[in-house]
Amino acid sequence: MLTIRYAEPQDSLQILKFIKALAEYEKLSAEVVATEEKLRQTLFEEKSAEVLIAFWNNEPAGFALFFSNYSTFLAQKGIYLEVLFVNPELRGKGIGKKLLKHLAQIAKDRNCGRLEWSVLDWNKDAIDFYVSIGAKPNDEWTTYRMNEKTIAEFTKN
């Protein structure tokens, strides 16, 4: 049995557990500096992003973390999916697809022009899943990133 709901402040520890599991899967555990307190602050006090949590038989199974973006060409808001994660032992049950469908419905209800996300180029399972639901890669764009240190250096003087 699958249920999906918006996360609440008391879910901060579970969200952190999902983040750590995702980082472990992506072999990036050393990158995680998030804490339960920081998640509570940024997600529920500052409202920097939103989270959906999926439950399989009343147990936390996965999550989707997303936030609003904007398309200048469409002159319309959109949603950027930062993370879609399902516990490895529960994959293949349709949980990820249901989470993504739930998010697509939110995008539709909010009159969004786009629902976008990124996927690591080595994650064949995720790529195959996204292609299977009709998503198209945006190969003509390359994502660039500045981290906190780079931002600080760039803004000096």
CB atoms within 10 A of CB 92: 10
Nearest to 126 by CA among 56, 59, 49, 62: 62
Nearest to 2 by CA among 90, 67, 68: 90
pTM over 0.95: no
pLDDT tens digits, one per residue of 62-87: 999 999 999 999 999 999 999 999 99
pLDDT confidence bin for 157, thresholds 50/70/90: confident
User: Which residues are known catalytic residues?
Assistant: 130
Q: Which residues have CB under 8 Å from 130's CB, separation 6+?
A: 119
Contact at 8 Å (CB) between 145 and 111? no
Mean pLDDT taken over the chain? 95
Query: Which residue blocks in 12-118 are alpha helix, DSSP H?
Result: 12-25, 36-39, 95-109
Q: Tell me how far CA of residue 33 lies from CA of 5, 93, 155, in angstroms.
A: 26, 30, 23
pLDDT tens digits, one per residue of 21-77: 999 999 999 999 999 999 999 999 999 999 999 999 999 999 999 999 999 999 999
Instruction: For the chain, list the domains and their CATH numbers.
Output: 2-154 (3.40.630.30)
pLDDT tens digits, one per residue of 132-142: 999 999 988 88
